[in-house]
Structure 1
């Protein structure tokens, strides 16, 4: 990198760090300075990405703010007949709108438009309404359309995408636990805990709970999911914690178990109390143990939570040269990708694709093509699951499905230079809350990055003997990255999608953020280590399910399996060896829909191929599915908390036929139905043929989180990572690197000691800079530009 650019970055960072909040100010300072350079001639920074016009409308884009408002108005029109109450006035016995999003567009409606002159498919809203006012209260999904709202718009039950037997209906006890549903339960919790405040104060350093809004309260609560098994029961297993920024890391040894079925609070009751690894079915038994001195606490939870902050900790020591700004990825030659920001469309090095967004899934990719050929119709996250382990109510009970919490709404502003490189392209995301629309600024970043390794390289000859020449060819490696980060409660999931110049596509997820921890129990090391004075890490799995709807050169694809098998054989030219082991490929095709795991020792190659399309050498064209880092599935298969509602997470891979009525692997309210799911992924496998059919590959990424002291204060992205690659497999006639100009062909003549090289017209960037004018009142010092 050129010295001037490094100096500019350092000056911007150092100046901003001592004056104003870094996020907005650093970015403004840097971009203002880079903008000044643009007016002075050639520059390494070329401003915004070049603009391209998307060839088609983004038919997967979310409904507009106006459409949302009009749908809201239509739903609340008495003539519609839904008898809705505004959420701010609603109780659990009312009907009210939970959320409005965009309905998944049917693929069979899209393809005639994408690939021909068919009309653009109509757009529909997707709505969840909590119907507590019905004789049998429930949650019901609807679809509303076509949009924009007109006389032709109708409101219909959204049943066709679910296979659990109730369509879009979810029993009341299994519906999302919003504040309105929690309201009638809270007085019971406050009363039960208030009655034993003397016990909790004595055991937990003065900590008491009288209700979240009571000024005397010095504890916070958390209750995991599921909250029901099949909808016929409702319960909360509540853990108490010391409140504060790091409350996830400061649990106390106390749990309250509540039965709370239905809408009538008179049916709610306290099931029991848990502390000291003992269960007490009622207050008298708990009080008797307390008075007998049987509940004394050996470990005291800290109230000071400064140790949980992700800030500078000088007590860890000083690292030499750490006061210098760290290396940064800069697009020195200018941006090499084009965007249509309105259509959310991107082109890069032969790739083209659309980006869409939903409140539950985050970003999704559609119509991914390489050099004009479609590879993938849809690539999207389907679920982010976490299942915990432990010998106490919260950890043992907890399974999270993060779509339940509307994962997409948690895509927040990315920090330029840290979450994403300086100069990245940033896009906003928007979603709808009631009758208005929310915008999360700079929640998606797009940038080209140096791969950190060459795409290809070889040195020919040694320069010795009769051939005095040494030649070396090397191609620069780069990829386009599209990234978001969702902070869902305690975890910050980083989702990165990388498009490599050879036509490969990589999906990567990393996890940082707070552990959901447990109180420290010395005899429970099998569930995790001690990570703080009174805190134990909780062993858990992260499983993230994705959907890849492959369309390799059309919708007729097959799933090819190339098994590496070891055989005993003889070869006539090795008579002295007799029989010896040799490996060979046994090539077959998956015949029926199936869920399965990676082969042992990875001794199988899985490809999606089009048997009707061959390359120049007669080989079937396809894309290989390459396992990357930490490709795992859910460890437990028969837990009552994830028995049938988490089927999508229980194998590495699955292959099904594409159907418009199977757009999602999971339901957003499935978490509270482990025994009777609204969406049962295992029912996707109904013995259909998958040979030369429209295939969907469902795959799981994730990590078995063996918690450690180094997860304090937060888990590190370096270790908590998982990835997969889709790579061309005979899709082309040769490697897709020969048409890249960013390369060097170097020739050395040992006889004449001469070196020549061809740069193919791509020279190192020259970055003149003129910041003689102060930038926001800050003048660069001469020392920044001196040699040495």
Structure 2
């Protein structure tokens, strides 16, 4: 192979013009010489292995323990009197699901940081106890695990502050399939009574799910209770098909579903044309009077709203070529301990875990050996809608209610993640003793940031190339990504560990709008997007937890305000008094919810006042707002008043307590006036100076719906992010130790160029796209 010096000389000659543009022929010659012995780059090389410093204490419970716990629960000796879910009714006791219990931080630190024993795991079990005199949903903790004769079952009460521990009244509990089956007869009878009306107005009828005459889809919304003392459900109707969310009709049925005795459930009424009709007779009277005309009929043709390519839109020039790809052609630069779910990358190290309720979680995040964050996890993914009919006007979703982790499914290589990304399966306890696995549901890859990390051209007007020295440093980040498809939306979660020591969390949303029937002159709730379809305005708000431990657990939250002051200058006395900027830094003293300042004129930093850098400044990490840092638009809706307090500010800070691991309860959505977990109660005037503090932050979008949301919302626009960046955490920028850089020197007389590549040559190889047979890594029990 031609020597590096020969190629460098040719490249230097090629760029010796004043404009520093390579001569095309010389450039081709240099590249061809460098490629005389082209090697093959396999982008499917497995990530190098590493060994975690400790066994992962946060790992999900194993399939073996899932089976053992299930058998234990159903042993008559426990006294739980359980019925197998497949045979259970509303008035039986049965297991709804199992998950991994959150470990108390105080129990983990002595193990992860010292010589303490590894804390035992516990299973989190939700049992619907319809057979009790006062039927409830009750959470339990089962452990210690692995299963032994020491394993017991206890109520999981201490993490909930609503007054009833882990107990939820029957009418506020999850509206599962057994409760849904209970109202089918009532709904069928109510809709059959007005079938001629719905047929005439909407060309559709509903006689129940199993009836061949039914040609409408029934869908429900939530919440289904105010405080757990009553239960109701609103049913909307749509045309069936792949894009059913986009073809709603203007007809709704509301049912009262209070109590365990379905014979007492009743019909509340119909809604159409924004009018409420308590009885079929009243609806029929309005219909026969011609008051229910359907001005904008819905279409059954859903081809306009599916995601197949629409040939009638034409072809873009050169679109038949493959789009650019991000490939790890230099080989994978991150290491994985597959057994412990542990990763190392360019100074970063962290553990990964997974739960069915919250999805992917990160623990013990360190940079260059120092802890930055103890826990980073999603807490809630919520949406609240606006409208003038029951579905849109009354809808609040908390996606942990649906176990958002269970919806993280297969990723498309080359589109969802780059070709060659390391793919992992995700596993979790199913609805029985089985462990459910979703293949290729999490990917890890390093990607070019699309810009240099740092760059500077040291100018020289007399130099033929216009510079004397030029420096550019390569920028990249390690990404962990998964997509959770919850109903109509695909949430893409991306966690990027940048080589400068910053950590970026980004969420994108794609998928079908939960649309509404279109009404003339009702654009205040969203635009018309098709013949009979309106895009319903809504808020997406996703709450995350970042338990910062900068070096240790004694941290503070510093606020630095950019303030305007009046100033005079003795060297320019003729200016008199004028405005100047200065910084005012102070620590926030108490737990609180707060927002970013207008015009970005405040900086918030987690700092460790007892640890300073070389220059005597407290070491810290700045909270940098990204795109679309929002909070919920309203704070006094009866559908979310007390159950969504966590959504009502951009940021919040609290003192860490083992009794406050979650910002929300996964069943809170049905308890808006009496939540099981009341986030507002976290703020009890405790000091947050030099304490173990937790930052809660919200990402999301005010979804101003548009015609470009058809067929689905685009990831390019529906995005929100935040960055945690070093702020005096180091003595200097974290780029000087990186080898992937170029230091280029231009001779001031001849313009000849020399450069230093620090041993990292540009890759000259053919990319092997053949996919090996064992590309998917078995991510432990995840």
Normalization by structure 1: what TM-score?
Answer: 0.92
Could you tell me whether the CA contact under 8 Å between 1:185 and 1:265 is conserved in 2?
Answer: yes
SS in 1 for 2:245: helix
Give the deviation of 1:572 after TM superposition. Answer: 1.4
> 2:780 maps to what in 1?
none
> 1:654 maps to what in 2?
652
Give the deviation of 1:42 after TM superposition. Answer: 5.1
Aligned equivalents of 1:238, 1:44: Cα separation in 2: 53
Q: Deviations over 1:374-407 (max 9, x none)?
A: 0000001000000000010110100000000000
Alignment of 1:452-471 (within 5 A): 452-464=450-462, 470-471=468-469
Q: Deviations over 1:29-68 (max 9, x none)?
A: xxxxxxxxxxx96525361110111111111111000101
| Structure 2 residue 392 is matched with structure 1 residue 386 | no
Aligned equivalents of 1:180, 1:485: Cα separation in 2: 29
> 1:696 maps to what in 2?
694
Taking a change above 3 Å as real, the CA distance of residues 769 and 311 of structure 1, as seen in their structure-2 partners, is closer
Q: Which of 546, 558, 561 is the matching residue for 1:560?
A: 558
Give the deviation of 1:420 after TM superposition. Answer: 0.0
Aligned equivalents of 2:181, 2:350: Cα separation in 1: 45
> 1:438 maps to what in 2?
436
Aligned equivalents of 2:42, 2:129: Cα separation in 1: 58
SS in 2 for 1:183: helix
Task: Judge which range, 55-64 or 260-269, deviates more.
Answer: 260-269
Aligned equivalents of 2:463, 2:244: Cα separation in 1: 71
Give the deviation of 1:749 after TM superposition. Answer: 2.1
Aligned equivalents of 1:753, 1:668: Cα separation in 2: 66
> 1:214 maps to what in 2?
211
Give the deviation of 1:770 after TM superposition. Answer: 8.4
Could you tell me whether the CA contact under 8 Å between 2:296 and 2:519 is conserved in 1?
Answer: no
> 2:325 maps to what in 1?
328
Task: Judge which range, 271-280 or 65-74, deviates more.
Answer: 271-280
Alignment of 1:79-228 (within 5 A): 79-205=77-203, 207-228=204-225
Task: Judge which range, 486-495 or 181-190, deviates more.
Answer: 181-190
Could you tell me whether the CA contact under 8 Å between 1:503 and 1:728 is conserved in 2?
Answer: yes
Alignment of 1:333-352 (within 5 A): 333-352=330-349
> 2:18 maps to what in 1?
none
SS in 2 for 1:134: coil
> 2:606 maps to what in 1?
608
Could you tell me whether the CA contact under 8 Å between 2:619 and 2:730 is conserved in 1?
Answer: yes
Could you tell me whether the CA contact under 8 Å between 1:468 and 1:750 is conserved in 2?
Answer: no
SS in 1 for 2:699: strand
| Structure 2 residue 350 is matched with structure 1 residue 353 | yes
> 2:718 maps to what in 1?
720
Q: Any stretches of 5+ residues in structure 2 without a counterpart?
A: 1-37, 774-782
> 2:393 maps to what in 1?
396
> 2:255 maps to what in 1?
258
Could you tell me whether the CA contact under 8 Å between 2:463 and 2:747 is conserved in 1?
Answer: no
Q: Deviations over 1:261-319 (max 9, x none)?
A: 01112321111111112111111000111112211211221111122211111111210
SS in 2 for 1:555: coil
Could you tell me whether the CA contact under 8 Å between 1:44 and 1:333 is conserved in 2?
Answer: no
> 1:73 maps to what in 2?
71
Taking a change above 3 Å as real, the CA distance of residues 177 and 467 of structure 1, as seen in their structure-2 partners, is closer
Q: Deviations over 1:50-106 (max 9, x none)?
A: 011111111111100010111011111010000000011111000000000010011
> 1:14 maps to what in 2?
none
> 2:727 maps to what in 1?
729
Could you tell me whether the CA contact under 8 Å between 1:461 and 1:471 is conserved in 2?
Answer: yes
Could you tell me whether the CA contact under 8 Å between 2:207 and 2:213 is conserved in 1?
Answer: yes
SS in 1 for 2:676: coil
SS in 2 for 1:731: coil
Could you tell me whether the CA contact under 8 Å between 1:468 and 1:749 is conserved in 2?
Answer: no
Could you tell me whether the CA contact under 8 Å between 1:241 and 1:250 is conserved in 2?
Answer: yes
Aligned equivalents of 1:553, 1:769: Cα separation in 2: 42
Give the deviation of 1:462 after TM superposition. Answer: 2.4
SS in 2 for 1:367: strand
Alignment of 1:43-58 (within 5 A): 43=41, 45=43, 47-58=45-56
Could you tell me whether the CA contact under 8 Å between 1:95 and 1:130 is conserved in 2?
Answer: yes
SS in 2 for 1:43: strand
Q: Which of 233, 243, 248 is the matching residue for 2:230?
A: 233
SS in 1 for 2:41: coil
Q: Which of 394, 403, 406 is the matching residue for 2:403?
A: 406
Could you tell me whether the CA contact under 8 Å between 1:193 and 1:210 is conserved in 2?
Answer: yes
> 2:275 maps to what in 1?
278
Aligned equivalents of 1:336, 1:775: Cα separation in 2: 19
Could you tell me whether the CA contact under 8 Å between 1:44 and 1:765 is conserved in 2?
Answer: no
> 1:374 maps to what in 2?
371
Task: Judge which range, 756-765 or 720-729, deviates more.
Answer: 756-765
Give the deviation of 1:216 after TM superposition. Answer: 1.1
Aligned equivalents of 1:476, 1:469: Cα separation in 2: 20
Q: Provide the aligned length of Structure 1 versus Structure 2.
A: 736
Taking a change above 3 Å as real, the CA distance of residues 263 and 56 of structure 1, as seen in their structure-2 partners, is same
Q: Which of 520, 523, 526 is the matching residue for 1:522?
A: 520
Aligned equivalents of 1:549, 1:469: Cα separation in 2: 47
Could you tell me whether the CA contact under 8 Å between 1:103 and 1:143 is conserved in 2?
Answer: yes
Taking a change above 3 Å as real, the CA distance of residues 299 and 349 of structure 1, as seen in their structure-2 partners, is same
Q: Deviations over 1:178-230 (max 9, x none)?
A: 1111121111001100111111111112x100111111110111111100000
Could you tell me whether the CA contact under 8 Å between 1:745 and 1:757 is conserved in 2?
Answer: yes
CA RMSD of aligned residues (A): 1.7
Q: Deviations over 1:604-638 (max 9, x none)?
A: 00000000000000000010000000000000110
Could you tell me whether the CA contact under 8 Å between 1:615 and 1:731 is conserved in 2?
Answer: yes
Aligned equivalents of 2:521, 2:768: Cα separation in 1: 65
Could you tell me whether the CA contact under 8 Å between 2:191 and 2:207 is conserved in 1?
Answer: yes
Q: Which runs of 4+ in 1 moved over 3 A?
A: 465-469, 768-771, 773-776
Taking a change above 3 Å as real, the CA distance of residues 456 and 181 of structure 1, as seen in their structure-2 partners, is same
Aligned equivalents of 1:769, 1:425: Cα separation in 2: 17
Give the deviation of 1:775 after TM superposition. Answer: 12
> 1:10 maps to what in 2?
none
Aligned equivalents of 1:246, 1:589: Cα separation in 2: 51
Could you tell me whether the CA contact under 8 Å between 1:666 and 1:679 is conserved in 2?
Answer: yes
> 1:760 maps to what in 2?
758
Q: Deviations over 1:509-567 (max 9, x none)?
A: 00000000000011211000000100000000000000000000100000000011000
Aligned equivalents of 2:649, 2:422: Cα separation in 1: 36
Aligned equivalents of 1:693, 1:445: Cα separation in 2: 35
Q: Which of 313, 316, 319 is the matching residue for 2:316?
A: 319
Taking a change above 3 Å as real, the CA distance of residues 89 and 458 of structure 1, as seen in their structure-2 partners, is same
Could you tell me whether the CA contact under 8 Å between 1:49 and 1:338 is conserved in 2?
Answer: yes
Give the deviation of 1:468 after TM superposition. Answer: 8.6
Q: Deviations over 1:628-682 (max 9, x none)?
A: 0000000011000000000000000000011111100000100000000000001
Aligned equivalents of 2:516, 2:112: Cα separation in 1: 51
SS in 1 for 2:634: coil
Could you tell me whether the CA contact under 8 Å between 1:468 and 1:751 is conserved in 2?
Answer: no
Could you tell me whether the CA contact under 8 Å between 2:463 and 2:748 is conserved in 1?
Answer: no
SS in 1 for 2:542: strand
Aligned equivalents of 2:457, 2:751: Cα separation in 1: 17
Taking a change above 3 Å as real, the CA distance of residues 195 and 398 of structure 1, as seen in their structure-2 partners, is same
